[in-house]
Amino acid sequence: MENHTLYSYRRCPYAMRARMALFMARIPCTVHDIDFKNKPEEMLKASPKGTVPVLILEDGTVIEESLDIIYWALQQNDPDGWLMAQGYEGLIAENDEMFKAALDRYKYPNRFPDEDCANAREQGLVFLQKLNDKLAAHAFLLNDQKGIADICIFPFIRQFANVDREWYEALDLKPLQNWLNTNLKSDLFQHIIKKYQETPYCLI
């Protein structure tokens, strides 16, 4: 087992994007797939906020936000120059703030008993349309190459699409739907979404 430790959860979109960046950067680490109802004590000691992903480096440094893990990983090794791209920060922030809020209210309205969540799907759709406009002009979000914006955002679009597959498939957003399928079928995603019988496991 390797000495960098990642606390993760297979289906968490933040953990997915961190695993994709770590794999892209070929950083060996030992991945603990956690049980939310029984979070490991070592993880909570390192990062009391209790969310995944959390990366603990060999020297004890704790990186406890998915974007910080991604930036750290790509600073070590960025084979396709993802950090050189221009203009990804704003789009990722829009995903993580506005779109994620709409996704949660659409997917889990009973977690927001004091709010009217009836418009959440429409609010999310505005972001889908914005991405679709970009994807009508080039194959990936920033240009014709997959990059940091794509891996940071598509795990959330996947969740949104899966809430009501029939509704999503009927949308007139072909470039977006093709982009999501391409990302889901990619070797990168297939590798990080594999089910392991045992935890911890080695990501590389």
What the block records as the tokens of 14 is: 């933040």
What the block records as the tokens of 123 is: 């609010």
Q: What are phi and psi of 85, to 5 degrees?
A: -65, 160
Interacting positions 97-156 with ligand GSH (CB under 6 A): none
Query: Would you say 27 or 67 has its CB closer to ligand GSH?
Result: 67
CA–CA dist 104, 107 (Å, integer): 5
Query: Would you say 103 or 135 has its CB closer to ligand GSH?
Result: 103
Does residue number 36 form part of the binding site for ligand GSH (CB under 6 A)?
yes
Query: Would you say 65 or 78 has its CB closer to ligand GSH?
Result: 65
Residue among 145, 19, 3, 11 at smallest CA distance from 73: 19
CB 172 to ligand GSH: min, Å: 30
CA–CA dist 1, 30 (Å, integer): 6
> Where are the alpha helices (H) located in the chain, listed in sequence order?
13-24, 41-46, 66-76, 88-94, 100-107, 120-137, 148-163, 165-169, 174-185, 187-192
- 6 forms bridges with which residues in the sheet? 31, 55
Query: Would you say 53 or 147 has its CB closer to ligand GSH?
Result: 53
Query: Would you say 9 or 139 has its CB closer to ligand GSH?
Result: 9
Out of 4, 14, 20, 155, the residue judged to bind ligand GSH by CB under 6 A: 14
Interacting positions 39-98 with ligand GSH (CB under 6 A): 50-53, 65-67
Q: How many residues bind ligand GSH (CB under 6 A)?
A: 11
Q: What are phi and psi of 92, to 5 degrees?
A: -65, -40
CB 128 to ligand GSH: min, Å: 20
Out of 6, 12, 29, 63, the residue judged to bind ligand GSH by CB under 6 A: 12
CB 36 to ligand GSH: min, Å: 5
CB 11 to ligand GSH: min, Å: 8
The residues near 199 (Cβ < 8 Å, ≥ 6 apart) are 31, 32, 33
The residues of the shown chain that bind ligand GSH, judged by CB under 6 A, are: 9, 12, 14, 36, 50-53, 65-67
